[in-house]
Amino acid sequence: MRVTHQAARAGFWTEWLSRHLPPQLRTRISGVIERDGTLVICAESAAWSARLRYSIQELEPQIRAAAAGVTEVQVRVLPRD
């Protein structure tokens, strides 16, 4: 049940981010996880992570409005296989 919920939330955030981020950034996202009030957005490299972090800072109020349970947003590096 928890895995299904996490997959649904990841799908929600992937869709949300695809509508709010520029195309060059959204294609560089390698994963999205929402857990315990923290939204973790992963970029495929350190360079893209820095660019994504800047854009996410600007979107953070909208992210919190989209999901009241999100209290923290983090951007991390997760290389693609």
**Distance between CA atoms of residues 8 and 26, nearest Å:** 18
Give the pLDDT means over successive 10-residue stretches in the chain (81 positions).
Answer: 82 96 95 94 97 96 94 95 75
Question: Under 8 Å CB-to-CB from 44, ≥6 apart: which residues?
Answer: 28, 29, 30, 77, 78, 79, 80
Predicted local distance difference test score (pLDDT) of residue 1: 63
Predicted local distance difference test score (pLDDT) of residue 43: 97
